[in-house]
């Protein structure tokens, strides 16, 4: 299990072996922005690995091709990765992605009222 820090939200997500960051986030109830749900088509899950790159599994050809073909060139940076393809080999990565939300608090209902 790899611990990944998500900024600017300050959230830590535990990513299981062989699991992508997006899959792990969704499994644990986090809201990770997407419209294609892991198909590497929408580019909305794209994030930046801002620290701990050595704890990531390098992008494969399919991820690199998807970003090259579908991601606007002004958004492509060396640290860009697709969360639906991003896997980890250990702890210590810091990923920047706006819009990530924690799981709902089980002590409150959907309207934010404490139960």
Question: Across the chain, which distance is largest between two alpha carbons, in Å?
Answer: 48
Residue 109 pLDDT greater than 80, yes or no: no
What would the pLDDT profile of 85-97 be if each residue is shown by its tens digit?
Answer: 999 999 999 999 9
Q: Give the whole-angstrom CA distance, residue 44 versus residue 38.
A: 10
Look at residues 77, 3, 81 and name the one whose alpha carbon lies nearest to residue 40. Answer: 81
Q: Give the whole-angstrom CA distance, residue 25 versus residue 17.
A: 13
Residue 108 pLDDT greater than 80, yes or no: no
Q: Write phi, then psi, for 13 (nearest 5 degrees).
A: -115, 130
What would the pLDDT profile of 16-38 be if each residue is shown by its tens digit?
Answer: 999 999 999 999 999 999 999 99
Predicted pLDDT of residue 60:
97
Q: Model-level pTM?
A: 0.90
Q: Environment class of residue 32 by beta-carbon count within 10 Å: exposed (0-12), middle (13-18) or buried (19+)?
A: buried
């Amino acid at each position: 299990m790899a611990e990944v820090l998500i900024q600017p939200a300050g959230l830590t997500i535990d990513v299981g072996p062989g699991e992508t960051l997006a899959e792990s986030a969704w499994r644990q109830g986090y809201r990770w922005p997407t419209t294609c749900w892991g198909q590497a088509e929408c580019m909305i899950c794209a994030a930046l690995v801002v620290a701990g790159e050595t704890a990531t599994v390098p992008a494969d050809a399919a991820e690199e091709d998807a970003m090259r073909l579908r991601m606007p060139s002004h958004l492509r940076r060396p640290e860009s990765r697709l969360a639906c393809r991003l896997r980890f080999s250990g702890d210590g990565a810091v990923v920047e992605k706006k819009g990530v939300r924690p799981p709902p608090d089980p002590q409150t209902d959907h309207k934010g009222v404490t139960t």
